[in-house]
Structure 1
Amino acid sequence: MKHQALTEEIIKIFYRVYNALGYGFLEKVYENAMMIELKKEGLSTIQQSPINVIYSDQIVGQYFADMIVDEKVIVEIKAKKYLMPEDEAQLLNYLKATDKEVGLLINFGPKPELTRKVFDNSKK
């Protein structure tokens, strides 16, 4: 699996934060807590990293990935009852719009949820 060790480390941090904070905070609280833990583990992380959507060689939109860890994995954070197909589509679109191939969608809902997505650069 591509970037398996890194995604496993991020997932451990997700559960550490979830166990400490539980459900009910806004996404930003979880994002900030994740940043603290990722830094403690020595992982280089960019918060709210811009993603340009290009069409016909022009920028047609800009989004912000919650985190990019070690310049390899996009982490998208949710804090809702449960993940929806559009949440997965959002992560896949982030992967399509960048050179990143691996993404984690994590949800600080009533039950912790996560999805790992891979989109190979050769298919972009």
Structure 2
Amino acid sequence: MNVDDISKTIIGCAIEVHKRLGPGLLESAYQECLFYELRQAGLEVQKEKPMPIVYKEVKLDHGYRIDLLVEDKVVVELKTVDALNEIHTAQVLTYLKLGNYKLGLLLNFQVAMLKDGIKRLIN
């Protein structure tokens, strides 16, 4: 499955979660429900995947974690904020760079319609 197909499935599952739950919950609730939906869709999903920082020859584990990593290809970062900002984008781009992943989805569930809370990022 290529990253575009994976991305479409992720977005479809996220829309389903948002339609059923609506905005206003904690990020962890959306994460658990999206994890469930993605697994039901037959995708390999890792939750809270550790993301160490490697600086020169030093590996630093500072507790950074990818919310969801799908098919070991697509980083999914969930937010429940009034508006996405540059630091949220930078976070996903950093995960893409550190993990050598090609595609990231930044999903903000604190919106009336989820399509307004989706940002697709490419490394």
* Higher-strand-fraction structure: 1
Superposed structure 1 runs of 4+ greater than 3 Å apart: none
Rounded Cα–Cα distance in structure 1 between residues aligned with 2:63 and 2:35: 22
Q: 1:118 aligns with which of 109, 119, 122?
A: 122
Moved more, 56-65 or 23-32: 56-65
Rounded Cα–Cα distance in structure 2 between residues aligned with 1:54 and 1:13: 33
Percent of aligned positions that are identical: 31
Map 1:1-124 to 2 at 5 A: 3-60=3-60, 61-111=62-112, 112=114, 113-119=117-123
> What is the number of residues matched between the two proteins?
118
Q: RMSD value over aligned CA atoms?
A: 1.1
Unaligned runs of 5+ in 2: none
Give the residue type in structure 2 aligned to 1:106: L
* Preserved CA contact (<8 Å) 1:47 1:65: yes
Rounded Cα–Cα distance in structure 2 between residues aligned with 1:81 and 1:62: 25
Rounded Cα–Cα distance in structure 2 between residues aligned with 1:35 and 1:3: 17
* Preserved CA contact (<8 Å) 1:78 1:108: yes
Unaligned runs of 5+ in 1: 120-124
Q: Give the alignment's TM-score, normalised by structure 1.
A: 0.91
